[in-house]
Amino acid sequence: MTGLTELFGGMLHRSAAALPVMAAVLLARLCLRRAPKRFGFVLWAAVGFRLLCPAGLPLPVSIFNSPPVQAAQQTALAAARRLEGGPTGAAVSGGGAAAAAAGSGVSAAEVLTAVWLAGLAVMLAWSAVSYLRIRRRLAQAEMLEPGVFACPGLETPFALGVFRRRIYVPAGMEPETLRCVLLHERAHLRRLDPLWKLAAFLVLAVYWWDPAVWLCHRLFCRDMEMSCDEAVLRELGPEVKRTYSLSLLSFAAGRRFPVAPPAFGEHDAKPRVKNVLRWKRATPPAAFLAGSLAVILTVSLCTDAPAGSWVRVRPAQGSEGVGASVSSRLNAPIRSWVIYQDVYDHGTLISSEPRILDGFEEDGTGASSRSLRGELLCSPGYGAGGALDGTVACVFQSDGVSIRWTAELPQSSYQGAGMASGDGRTALNGAGEAVLLTYVFSEREGGVTLRSADTDIVQLCDAAVRFRLAASEEPLSAAGGASALAEELYALKNPYVGDIPADGKLLTALGVPALGNYSLELITSRRPYVLTVNFQHAPEDPNALDSEMSARAAALLALIENLDEVRWAYPQEDENGEPVQITVYFDAAAARLASLDQPVKTYGSSPQALEELLSAWGLSAPAAG
């Protein structure tokens, strides 16, 4: 069942990823509504490709290079993950046996997979019955001419077969009507439409639960029929419009089951008649323009944005615990990566350790590490009485190699635990990082359930262990060689400037107390969020103090995620000897140096990036004091 559940999960993601393509095809059809239908019909190949293939060839012309399309795709993928039962927060269960029992039950994903299989079976069974009924009726058909058979009691003509291609028509048709019908059905056979319709039905059967796929299938069949209608008009000329329209109306058979072969009057007689009556022969320039547009759109819809570096995370389960399945592609300029283990106590980061690391050769030829694949599995430890004992057994398995260690939590006992894996695919542009797995812990008996779309779950629980992959443009020797100060400061990284204890730890680690006694003042009620250091005594050299504080302010802006501005103030005498208060303002713009090519916030993404910021500002160690 696990394999089928993963298959259904992949279909959910492909369906979500195809939504922008479906919308683009619908919009393109609207733009091409006056063009020959054969060009609009080609566009449906992109929808089928996206529903069947997880990825396309990366090309610069891809529609997925567009930020609005990328945003729409990410929104749809997030919705698919919620439907699949993926993490939107963390579910924290009770401890001990209760947690084990919950893990052995039937998941929502398994229930959805069973429903999908039942629907697929119904679709296939119905199609088989429909086809057998058609074949039974055709047993009475008599040949009119090679490849054409007349069948008594047949409601509408149709073409059938890919290798043994035949046309079946009702017995006793008028010669003029028969002429139009045969041209229409031969156009179907010439373009292999029975094969394409069968393929489209199989896609519909697999995605039977998706209303968008049903809509696309209906419009696909309509465009197929209209393009064959226009083939007849191009052959016989506009003089047959009236006769052809009456033929369509007389053979309109209403709605048939999708597996039926392409039938003359099967689909949407009213819009088809309207299309026939307003048809005009397209001029060569107009046809060339419409055809070129259709080809360009189809290519752009079937391709992906040029491949960059990325990491994809999916939930995983094994004999050694539950966690995350990780796959990645780390292209240049990335030259090394590290998986960090971060431990949080009531929302505050208290430690950050590199657990698994790898690098590429200096010339960038270390291809083996550029495609990281593995599973990170964790299992909380239990003590006497079923309470969690404050440890987490961890294992990373890749290419038959297992790396094991134990993570220590801030306390030795918790009542509940829960897990949230990472959030799908994350792009890594140069130095970047992606969350792989987060385990959260509750001190409350019975546990709690946390759900939040806007707040990091580590801020909502009593303790957490988080694993994240950080990539670097530096080789491993440099990436792993961040200074002790950078490592210490990164471990104290703080998402909220309003966390005064966390702010104080950062200021202490940066050596601000050595610059003079001070008090801390925060503005968090409105933007900009400001941290102000008020020094109590006048400095001997104000310029030196401003220089020292500028370097520290840049680090604070990088390490306090929602901090907008740093100020420091100190008393001084003016030219008349009167006491005045000097205030220095420092924000993201002031934090930029010629040697820094990224916004200051990006330098808080890893110890290595922070080391680059500290070096640029000449801050290699805290001030002595």
Q: How far apart are CA 484 and CA 597, in angstroms?
A: 24
Q: Which helix (H) or strand (E) holds 530?
A: strand 530-535
Q: Which of 352, 619, 592, 610 is nearest to 491 (CA)?
A: 352
SS3 287: helix
Q: What is the pLDDT of residue 565?
A: 95
Q: What is the pLDDT of residue 19?
A: 86
**pLDDT, tens digit, 9 for 90 and up, residues 307-323:** 577 888 988 888 888 99
Contact criterion met (CB below 8 Å) for 608 and 482: yes
Q: What is the pLDDT of residue 155?
A: 80
Q: How far apart are CA 510 and CA 185, in angstroms?
A: 80
Q: How far apart are CA 59 and CA 416, in angstroms?
A: 48
Residue count (the chain): 625
317 Cβ neighbours under 8 A, 6+ residues apart: 2, 323, 377
Q: Which two tokens stand for residue 360?
A: 């590429």
Contact criterion met (CB below 8 Å) for 54 and 210: no
Q: Which of 546, 542, 549 is nearest to 574 (CA)?
A: 542
Contact criterion met (CB below 8 Å) for 567 and 530: yes
**pLDDT, tens digit, 9 for 90 and up, residues 453-488:** 456 788 788 899 999 888 877 665 444 456 668 878
Question: Which of 338 and 406 is assigned the larger pLDDT?
Answer: 406
Q: How far apart are CA 441 and CA 90, in angstroms?
A: 10
**pLDDT, tens digit, 9 for 90 and up, residues 217-241:** 999 988 888 888 888 888 888 888 8
Q: Which two tokens stand for residue 53?
A: 């293939």
Quote the percentage of the chain above a pLDDT of 90: 17
Q: What is the pLDDT of residue 302?
A: 81
Q: Across residues 382-398, what is the average pLDDT? A: 87
Per-chain mean pLDDT for the chain: 80
Question: Which of 399 and 565 is assigned the larger pLDDT?
Answer: 565
Q: How far apart are CA 166 and CA 71, in angstroms?
A: 47
Q: Cα dist. 236→49, 243, 617 in Å? A: 35, 11, 80
Q: Is 288 exposed, middle or buried (0-12, 13-18, 19+ CB in 10 A)?
A: exposed
SS3 449: strand
Confidence of residue 158 (pLDDT cuts 50, 70, 90): confident
**pLDDT, tens digit, 9 for 90 and up, residues 76-98:** 666 665 555 543 333 444 444 33
Q: What is the pLDDT of residue 446?
A: 59
Identity of the residue numbered 343: V
Q: How far apart are CA 103 and CA 471, in angstroms?
A: 33
**pLDDT, tens digit, 9 for 90 and up, residues 101-130:** 334 455 667 788 889 899 999 999 988 888
Q: What is the pLDDT of residue 211?
A: 92
Query: Is the sign of the CA dihedral 29, 33, 39, 42 positive or negative?
Result: positive
Q: Across residues 512-519, what is the average pLDDT? A: 90
Confidence of residue 356 (pLDDT cuts 50, 70, 90): confident
Most confident of 248-257, 277-286, 542-551, 615-624: 542-551
Q: What is the pLDDT of residue 449?
A: 53
**pLDDT, tens digit, 9 for 90 and up, residues 278-292:** 888 888 888 888 888
Q: How far apart are CA 527 and CA 61, in angstroms?
A: 40
SS3 142: strand
pLDDT over threshold 90, residue 327: no
SS3 562: coil
Q: Across residues 517-543, what is the average pLDDT? A: 91
What share of residues in the chain are helix, strand, coil (percent, to 5)? 45, 25, 30
Confidence of residue 533 (pLDDT cuts 50, 70, 90): very high
182: DSSP letter:
H
Contact criterion met (CB below 8 Å) for 495 and 562: yes
Most confident of 8-22, 182-196, 430-444: 182-196
Q: How far apart are CA 625 and CA 596, in angstroms?
A: 30
Q: How far apart are CA 557 and CA 598, in angstroms?
A: 13
Q: Which helix (H) or strand (E) holds 11?
A: helix 2-31
